[in-house]
Amino acid sequence: MNLILNSLPGFAEALSTTERRFVGKDAPDQVRPFLSLWGRTEQTRLVCLPEIASELGLARVLIKDEGQRLGQGSFKSLGGAYALMVLFKQLLESHLNQKVQVPQLLSPTARDFARSVTVCCATDGNHGKSVAAGARLLGCRSVIFIHAGVSQTRAEAIGASEIVRVDGNYDQSVREAERVAAERGWLLVSDTSWPGYEEIPAIVGQGYTILAEEALRQTGEQGHGNPTHVFLQAGVGGFASSIAGYLAERLGRENLKVVIVEPDLAACLFESARAGELVSVTPTEPTIMAMLECYQPSLIAWRILEKLSSGFMTVTEQQAKQAVRRLADRVEEPIVAGESGAAGLAGLAAAASDGDMRAALGLSSDSRVLLINTETATDPASYTDIVGRAPAEVAAGRAENASA
């Protein structure tokens, strides 16, 4: 069974004061003022999947579709760009020796200062795209480090001032970005953390709480009731820990089961749960779930997930592909989801279809499950190969249904 129930010593411990500051009930209030700098603050849609709920014997399956978030193609636009804005505000206040209001970050004075700032990070694609977009908005220079496995299509979509390709995997690109940033005095905006580097990834994660707040509001508005389960895909765990933390604080942890889903080819959280402590895993071969291809967990994410996650599970390449097709082939409201974006659905389908896992996670005909499509088709060629249609064709089907 590709599921490990949480038996860690920290399970059910309360979140710390610092963790609640970044992912608790009030976290979205810290993020919201900065969203106005994008010039577009509309929420993404929450879609009910009744055919999947019926097939899996569940009361509700809902998916929050982040594929169109802020025009950036993924939920990551809420994290990296937001963190950069927060950090740039601090730098500008220090430079001017005075307080600065959020709208002033786009002022001529701020733009002049921004020319002296270079921001960098490592990425599989989406986080770097967010940081680069924030840098363009503010007027900073951005240097984004990518690893050998990032496709040229994903690299070109980042839109950075400069792209640096690093031999090796994601974790090696993280280390190289850290090294160069320290050497050149650049601002490093990483979404993963390690000892001594924790606050900035926490700010990145704080940005993601906006989508969790939206999801709860939409479930209420649509009359679905609060979720009883949430299946969250994970790379280093930053996204999963932020969403899990916010939902648990809002709903009460006793009312929600959190399940972490990873590719079986890059399951660093799953293996950490098995080992009983944070561990890294040895890379074998690349996964099509490219945005989840991480081999060392984020330190701050692990601290939260070991307290809140009911279980950790893995999915195969074929299960991810099947989930992508399921969402694309819907008659009503087809959803364009990349392989990483559909991983949560892949996990739910596997768990609900297996008697042992279903019982272990308390899935039943009364269960209301929340999923999050974290990205659109970030590699259109790969998506077309899986689905048999281009992303635009699938999206066009949604537009036709809406106008019918």
Residue holding tokens 């070991």?
306
What positions carry a catalytic annotation?
Answer: 76, 124
Q: For residue 334, which amino acid is it?
A: P
Give the gyration radius of the chain's Cα atoms. Answer: 20
Q: Which of 265, 124, 105, 114 is nearest to 190 (CA)?
A: 124
Q: How far is the C-alpha of 22 from the C-alpha of 208, rounded, in Å?
A: 10
Q: Which of 257, 248, 243 is nearest to 214 (CA)?
A: 243
Q: For residue 119, which amino acid is it?
A: V
Q: How far is the C-alpha of 246 from the C-alpha of 78, rounded, in Å?
A: 15
Residue holding tokens 């679905």?
224
Q: Which of 184, 71, 80, 188 is nearest to 132 (CA)?
A: 80
- Spatial CB neighbours of 398, under 8 Å, sequence gap ≥ 6: 333, 334, 335
Q: How far is the C-alpha of 165 from the C-alpha of 155, rounded, in Å?
A: 9
The b-or-e profile of 227-262 (16+ CB within 10 A means b, else e) is: bbbbbbbbbbbbbbbbbbbbbbbbeebeebbbbbbb
- Spatial CB neighbours of 104, under 8 Å, sequence gap ≥ 6: 92, 110
Q: Which of 125, 297, 298 is nearest to 203 (CA)?
A: 298
The b-or-e profile of 142-154 (16+ CB within 10 A means b, else e) is: bbbbbbebbeeeb
Contact 255, 245 (CB under 8 A): no
Q: How far is the C-alpha of 134 from the C-alpha of 79, rounded, in Å?
A: 10
Query: What is residue 65's three-state secondary structure?
Result: strand
The pairing of strands 3-5 and 229-233 is: unpaired
